[in-house]
Structure 1
């Protein structure tokens, strides 16, 4: 399954990604980052052994026939022998390991041509978009970094990164850290929130990287990781991430431990912690203009807006169901959308409130799906255009102009339950969709006649007349599910009456 996706805008990725090098400095960095996890794993193992010893009856008798073999201390003797012979090749000549053929003096024919071919194959053009997908299959999780060539309708995996735990959320950032900390310019990184309490940040401009550039979480090696909620790190799954584009060293995270935390990327430490929710915090979003204002949504069925400088002044909206997704409206920054488990989309104005920290009524409520709205996004380039995705396996495109939403088009895709749908940051009508089947598709919405009619010339965007296109996806021999439609995107006008559909969905 693909649990989350993230578009990377054109031109920010390195044209020629660097090859990962495990030198002495990198080895030391990995050792420092990994040592804490190793200590915690050893401590967990010791605790498990103590628990097992206290609950199970231990036999103190030894079979006389086996006593001479001293089996009780067999493992200790093996470990001692291994410690004495750490490197079994240390006294052998001619067994020196070289990282590549260029460094090996015994290889005189260098692979210059092969390296040039590989460099060309891995090149990222300024016209290419990247899409990062958090994928899990057979209990193995990894990040797949796709290249999407819009002019050719071409989508392929460029490289991937192995993850230690199930990923739940992604966000992109460009603040140099880890190996490139303090270097001038910007980079291209992805922050990953997982079922583990830590947040890992990976460099997208480096191939075959072994370890993240930074880990945000428990870093005090002198103390054992706490199980209870605290102000230093998360103790449960990280469910939401939001990078502050105005204060580029700040990353916000929301967690199942009911807290929202702000992280300083320069120090990899938690700078602030907020506990204004009483249940899992599913989503967090920085305001696009007011750089200190946060929007959070929780399973306690509330949405909160507050200034991180004065978190005691919180305005709350009760939405009656678990929050699934949140988005500020980039075209009207005083308003925000919230998608909930009961299939509804609500649109609020933060300026409207009832006093005493209670938010006002929704400007409108849209019954988007019968099942949970598991994915939601606002088109950053086309005002009034939103997409909803659901566990009912369908996506729907809506026109919300004049606060009177109506469905423009709907489609069931062969990606299973929709877990992530996101508009491209560079092209107004490119939409990436992924779900439980582990497939990623990119749809060109401009090929749909209903979308062309609805959004033509909006915000100065000219929608060309183009033939109907199938979604772009990786080649796959698997047959689509029998209950899913695999034809072209349906034109809303040709399948049902617009007025009746709006009456049913618009509350």
Structure 2
């Protein structure tokens, strides 16, 4: 492992807008039969482990006996104490002498802790959720953070263990199984194994997705059906969903294909085969019912038409296309980045030409986003060189956009970047060093001056959730005036008021580039 690199990495993340999550999430409760099955499986595993341990221990007994002499285990049962023994259970003669029985104030404290735990799971109307996929060589987990812009709370709400390795994600505000389908709070994960898992973020303790798109249900059948449903044959590299086409999910795959999926039926309704190499990026055009844009390792960018299943415009760039993003303020324009550090800004009505082309970073630019705030148009770019930069796109007569500000986010290579849908100047970044960061652009002097806003005296520049320390708050962000980075870590439950979280485990590093190129 390379020195200084985190044990796990954040490859993709996504925001959930305010009001989309249930205030009190549902909880999965295992039935008695399910618990019995789990106990039986656990017992079988225990017996298998004991068999192995007996074989190993028989080889080591000679050396172990010498090491255990000092503990006098042969006379352990003769030890005397202030307790009475019944088999393996010990009972104190007096409850007042038993340190494990709660008394008086301690019981009240326990009730208070339970109320705190319950309140910490409540999602307030002014809360955003931030979903992050944390991946290591052996494990992957979906972490769901709560972020409150007003009081600067930022903590882990819950997490979901994953069996597959997600390479991309997309929040979906549509639930085909609900009475009101417009109130969904789902997240789609594009996996290395070519499937798309859909998880319900309003359900806690879930161990499997609500449904999976792209499974080849016919591959094990002896008699093949006349008509086979389309499935991807390689890793899913990007996903896109739009409120304008809310029952349709677009996917880009390493099998060189862009597919459109009906979220109600779970089958592909459109397939585009214009590219000649892995398709790394796809995104719906804002406020459009038909158009989406795709970019590939072949260096080509297409605007695709859902209604005709054909491409309507094409561009060629220098290098492999890493990311495409539309200008949500003016959907005639989009930006594209490459593995060589170049960024292009284009008008989709003028195929083959670009407004800007410039060398934005020394290394690949895997993520970017166009902002339209305070009557300004600017672009943020995140790079494998570790920097996030903000560019002014206003002066289209200039040779290249003006660099407004650049910042080392302190996560090593930056894999992903996304602005908060309700607080656009708050940007979430995920990267190589086991970390996610929130950067408040309004608290950066160069950017606030460019936007013509006064930088508040109290706020935050960068939020840095990380593992706890003895002198910090556990996954609950507390603002410290003047600090560049603010760390949530360990907080005593008795002193907390309304939030809580879980301590994160350290995991091994993984490499996104290796996964995508394999």
Same fold by TM-score greater than 0.5: yes
Contact 2:329 2:371 in 1 (8 A): no
Structure 1 unmatched runs, 5+: 28-110, 353-358, 457-461, 479-485, 490-507
Contact 1:380 1:425 in 2 (8 A): no
C-alpha displacement of 1:296: 0.4
C-alpha displacement of 1:24: 11
C-alpha displacement of 1:231: 6.1
Does the residue aligned with 2:119 lie in a helix, a strand or coil? helix
Map residues 4-23 of structure 1 onto 2, 5 A cutoff: 4-22=12-30
Partner of 2:436 in structure 1? 440
Partner of 1:90 in structure 2? none
C-alpha displacement of 1:348: 0.9
| 1:221 to 1:332, Cα distance in 2 relative to 1, 3 A | same
Contact 1:154 1:472 in 2 (8 A): no
Map residues 403-418 of structure 1 onto 2, 5 A cutoff: 403=396, 404=398, 405-418=401-414
Contact 2:173 2:182 in 1 (8 A): no
Map residues 367-446 of structure 1 onto 2, 5 A cutoff: 367-379=359-371, 381=373, 383-403=376-396, 404=398, 405-446=401-442
Q: Deviations over 1:398-441 (max 9, x none)?
A: 11112241111111122110001111111132111110112111
Map residues 2-401 of structure 1 onto 2, 5 A cutoff: 2-22=10-30, 116-177=115-176, 180-182=177-179, 186-221=183-218, 223=220, 232-352=230-350, 359-379=351-371, 381=373, 383-401=376-394
**What is the total number of aligned residue pairs between the two structures?**
383
Does the residue aligned with 1:342 lie in a helix, a strand or coil? coil
C-alpha displacement of 1:148: 1.0
C-alpha displacement of 1:183: 5.3
Does the residue aligned with 1:446 lie in a helix, a strand or coil? helix
Q: Please, what is the CA RMSD of the aligned residues? A: 2.7
Contact 2:285 2:293 in 1 (8 A): yes
Cα distance in 1 for partners of 2:160, 2:296 equals: 30
C-alpha displacement of 1:168: 0.9
Cα distance in 2 for partners of 1:260, 1:166 equals: 20
C-alpha displacement of 1:366: 2.3
| 1:297 to 1:146, Cα distance in 2 relative to 1, 3 A | same
| 1:260 to 1:185, Cα distance in 2 relative to 1, 3 A | closer
| 1:384 to 1:120, Cα distance in 2 relative to 1, 3 A | same
Partner of 1:501 in structure 2? none
Q: What's the TM-score once normalised by structure 1's chain length? A: 0.71
Partner of 2:478 in structure 1? none
Contact 2:271 2:309 in 1 (8 A): no
Does the residue aligned with 2:245 lie in a helix, a strand or coil? coil
Does the residue aligned with 1:258 lie in a helix, a strand or coil? coil
Does the residue aligned with 1:314 lie in a helix, a strand or coil? strand
Contact 2:194 2:234 in 1 (8 A): yes
C-alpha displacement of 1:284: 0.6
Cα distance in 2 for partners of 1:161, 1:216 equals: 19
Contact 1:218 1:232 in 2 (8 A): no
C-alpha displacement of 1:153: 2.1
Does the residue aligned with 1:320 lie in a helix, a strand or coil? coil
Cα distance in 1 for partners of 2:363, 2:385 equals: 6
Q: Deviations over 1:48-100 (max 9, x none)?
A: xxxxxxxxxxxxxxxxxxxxxxxxxxxxxxxxxxxxxxxxxxxxxxxxxxxxx
Q: Deviations over 1:307-353 (max 9, x none)?
A: 1222334321001210000011112211111011111110111111x
Cα distance in 2 for partners of 1:306, 1:151 equals: 40
Does the residue aligned with 1:120 lie in a helix, a strand or coil? helix
Cα distance in 2 for partners of 1:331, 1:233 equals: 34
Contact 2:173 2:243 in 1 (8 A): no
Cα distance in 2 for partners of 1:313, 1:305 equals: 6
Bigger relative contact order (CA 8 A; separation at least 6): 2
